[in-house]
Chains A and B, each alone.
Chain A
Amino acid sequence: MKRFAGVLAFAAVVAAATSASALASHAWGTYHWARTANPFTLKVGDNLTGDWPGHLAQASADWNQSTVLQTTIVPGQARNKRCRPTSGRVEVCNGGYGFNGWLGIATIWIASGSTHITQGTVKVNDSYFATSTYNNPNEKQHVMCQEIGHTWGLNHQDESGALYYTCMDYFSNTGANATNSASTTPNQGDFDQLLCIYDPNSAGRTLTSTTSGISHSCTGTGHLDSTTTVGATAFGGNGAAEPPDWANPSESVYVDHLPNGETQVTFVRWANPIHAWAG
Chain B
Amino acid sequence: MILLALLAAFAVGPPRTPPPHVSGVSVTPPPAWIDDGVRSKWLAYGGYCWQTQCVDFLPPAQRTLPVVAVQRGTRLTVHFRFSASDVTVRVGTRTVAAGSGSTIAWRARSGGILDVHARGPGGSASYLARIRIG
Contact = CB atoms under 8 A, between A and B. Distances in A.
Interface string A168-191: 001010100000000000000000
A266 B49 CA distance: 14
A109 B20 contact: no
A225 interface: no
B59 interface: yes
A102 B25 CA distance: 9
B21 A273 contact: yes
Contact of A243 (B18, B26, B59): B26
A34 B14 CA distance: 42
Interface stretch (A54-62, A143-151, A193-201, A216-224): A143-151
A277 B65 contact: yes
Contacts of A146: 56
B99 to A, nearest CB: 17
B60 A102 contact: no
B130 to A, nearest CB: 11
B114 interface: no
A271 interface: yes
B123 A155 contact: yes
B37 interface: no
Interface stretch (A3-11, A36-44, A69-77, A93-101): A93-101
A80 to B, nearest CB: 14
Interface string B1-45: 000000000000000011111111111100100000000001111
B74 interface: no
Contacts of B45: 101, 277-278
Contacts of B44: 277-278
Contacts of B17: 275
Contacts of B31: 269
Given A101-B22, A133-B62, A241-B26, A150 B46 contact: no
B63 A279 contact: yes
A125 B53 CA distance: 15
Contacts of A159: 46-47, 115, 117, 124, 126
Interface of B: 17-28, 31, 42-47, 49-60, 62-66, 90, 115, 117, 123-124, 126
Interface of A: 28-29, 31, 97-98, 100-110, 123, 125, 128, 133, 143, 146-147, 150, 155-156, 159-161, 170, 172, 174, 241-243, 265-273, 275-279
7 contacts: A101-B63, A107-B52, A107-B53, A150-B49, A269-B19, A277-B42, A277-B45
